[in-house]
Structure 1
Amino acid sequence: MSTRNKKKKRTWLKVTGIILLILFIAGGAYAYTVYKSFKSAVETMHQPIERKQSEKREKPVTLQEKDPFSVLLLGVDERAGDRGRSDSLIVLTVNPTNNSVKMLSIPRDTRTEIIGKGKEDKINHAYAFGGVPMAMDTVENFLDIPIDYYIQINMEGFKDIVDAVGGVTVNNDLDFNYEGVHFTKGELTLNGEKALKYSRMRYDDPRGDFGRQLRQRQIIQAVINEGASVSSLTNFSTIFTALGKNVKTNLTFDQMIDIQKNYKTSAGNIQQIEIKETGTKINNIYYGLVAAEEKQKVQNELKTQLELNQ
């Protein structure tokens, strides 16, 4: 893989925080010009998909009634003439009753049934086979919860957006070097380039991919914390334009405003959860296998968060 492609990987994670920030505070103290710019960006971002109502819900989510809901975040590396693969998958479950968001990273090598393909494969291949609908269906089947919305992010061009919020602050628990940068233990303030490197390192972490996932979630939460108010940014128009070009979602502008009104306090309580797996090779291909007990534990936690019958 080229250095350029490596640098693109998981850049989307920093911007995910900005998108979540927009979801939760979009309507608050916006001046008219900010509101108008944001609405225009969301209209560009909006991309509905053809997908039948989930069998895992008795009725559709109603954001105006403060129903708990879920969002699948897809970080996609798109290449010319190729749909690409979802290099990163994160599921958010939002509950306004307990004012919390649970954030689950799904390792891309996780072996599971690809819904609509009729075979088991790495979970990140679902997007390559069938786009967003197949990715949503596959994750929904894997976790046994409804996936209500999606946010697809192209990893090109997001470093500048991270820098626009003034960088991020994280608490690093591992001293390491990566691509010429020394990350010491303790509190670190990172710009876009360093935040990308911080979230990408895996092989020198004794926790492997789980350590990387932890840092990815740290970056997301840090961006949310840094952006107390998007309206305070002097270059909001540039940020919204970049989002419009690189982000697709089935959430409408009105739905985002409903989220701001009814779920805003949930953004202050983000709980990170993991799904543990064991690495193995099948026909010389690496997969992550999740034990039945582990999968059930995670499924139960998410179902409780979404207030679903178990």
Structure 2
Amino acid sequence: MSEKRLYMDTKQPEKKHWNRWVIISLTIIGILIASSAGYALYLANLTKSTIDNAQQPLESRVHDGKSNMRTEKVDPRIDNISILFLGIDDSEKRGFSTARSDAMILATFNETNKSVKMVNIPRDSRVKLAERNEMDKITHAHAFGGIDMAVNTVENLFDIPVDYYVRVNFDAFIEIVDAMDGIEIDVPFDIVEQNSKDEQDAIHIKKGLQTLNGEEALAYVRTRKYDSDLARGQRQQEVLKALLEKSLSIQSITKYDDVLKEIGKNLTTNMRFGEMAAFHDYLYKGKNLEVELLTLEGQPDRINRIYYYVLDEEALNNTISSLKAHLELEETNAEESKDN
């Protein structure tokens, strides 16, 4: 398997660093259940109902369901497609549709070789917001114009169509782990950490083999006090593996029901059940699935006393070329496209 892992430090607040990993894990679990549950009639109907209830079409695509950058609607069973994953740190003070996006990941899927490319978009990236025609942080696109502005802004930035989106509320992570009755982890050291409400020293985890509930699992992957960033990344992979194994080994239909309900409450998408089930072929490759993780290079800067992450134009254009090649799209002048 060819896999490139690139990491970037944008000096963001500490509690936000785990968001990118959470959205990836929740999305994988959701798609895994959606594609594998189709083998049992009841579970297929249950999953279809959950996905149908999570439907929120893009307002700008209500007539034909396709990106303006496509000549016809794509079919993930036969076409190369792209998905924008958004993680929303929703609170009682903000609506789900108007919260800022704390994580944005654009993924492209090549149907021919069953490979995936994923690029993390730093939330403070200074870009031109669609419809507002002004430079601002990309995280504000969702806050100002909801999912439509977020999708259109990403399309303009990369000059490629965004075919689907999946928007996840981070509250789902805790609830899904709890719905699975926790996950078993061999904890390497005692941990005292804040909880999801940022209450200090609320979580206490003992060293050794433990069954962690949702809050404890979140604290385990968030903590930065006890080891390195590299080790924290390994903990995240460990928890993700435990979650995936637990989701595959669920024997009770009731448990599937609980997990799917939590996913349904905290996820919206314009992808239908049949389209999501098409990703079973990617999951079937398992460890042989080729995944390339890309990064957007840039520099932190302050403009009018506001912090931004200013993208490197040459590196951005290289990323655009890589994504276009993966989607097998014709190369265009990225600068001209972004100006139009």
For residue 257 of structure 1, what is the aligned residue in structure 2? 277
For residue 74 of structure 2, what is the aligned residue in structure 1? 61
Count matched residues: 289
For residue 104 of structure 2, what is the aligned residue in structure 1? 89
For residue 143 of structure 2, what is the aligned residue in structure 1? 128
Q: Is the 8 A contact 2:34 2:273 kept in 1?
A: no
For residue 287 of structure 1, what is the aligned residue in structure 2? 308
2:38 matched to 1:16? no
Q: Is the 8 A contact 2:183 2:246 kept in 1?
A: no
Distance 2:225 2:141 in 1: 25
For residue 304 of structure 1, what is the aligned residue in structure 2? 325
Q: Any unmatched runs of 5+ in structure 2?
A: 1-14, 195-200, 332-340
2:58 pairs, out of 26, 46, 49, with 49
For residue 3 of structure 1, what is the aligned residue in structure 2? none
2:125 matched to 1:144? no
Q: Is the 8 A contact 1:200 1:212 kept in 2?
A: no
For residue 4 of structure 2, what is the aligned residue in structure 1? none
- Alpha-carbon spacing, 1:164–1:245, altered in 2? closer, same or farther (3 Å): closer
2:176 pairs, out of 161, 177, 185, with 161
- Alpha-carbon spacing, 1:194–1:81, altered in 2? closer, same or farther (3 Å): closer
- Alpha-carbon spacing, 1:60–1:157, altered in 2? closer, same or farther (3 Å): closer
Distance 2:31 2:184 in 1: 15
Distance 2:235 2:106 in 1: 13
Please give the secondary structure, in 1, of the residue aligned with 2:308: strand
User: TM-score, with normalisation over the residues of structure 1?
Assistant: 0.77
Distance 1:252 1:306 in 2: 21
- Alpha-carbon spacing, 1:23–1:292, altered in 2? closer, same or farther (3 Å): farther
Please give the secondary structure, in 2, of the residue aligned with 1:22: helix
2:248 matched to 1:229? yes
- Which is higher, the Rg of structure 1 or of structure 2? 2
Q: Is the 8 A contact 2:101 2:140 kept in 1?
A: yes
Distance 1:256 1:295 in 2: 29
Q: CA deviation at 1:136?
A: 0.3
Please give the secondary structure, in 1, of the residue aligned with 2:32: helix
User: TM-score, with normalisation over the residues of structure 2?
Assistant: 0.71
Please give the secondary structure, in 1, of the residue aligned with 2:100: strand
Q: Is the 8 A contact 1:96 1:265 kept in 2?
A: no
Q: Any unmatched runs of 5+ in structure 1?
A: 1-5
Q: Is the 8 A contact 1:104 1:275 kept in 2?
A: yes
Q: CA deviation at 1:139?
A: 0.9
Report sequence identity in percent.
Answer: 35
Q: Is the 8 A contact 1:69 1:306 kept in 2?
A: yes
RMSD: 3.7
Code of the residue aligned with 1:158 in structure 2: it is F
- Alpha-carbon spacing, 1:189–1:147, altered in 2? closer, same or farther (3 Å): farther
1 or 2 for the larger relative contact order (CA 8 Å, sep ≥6)? Answer: 1
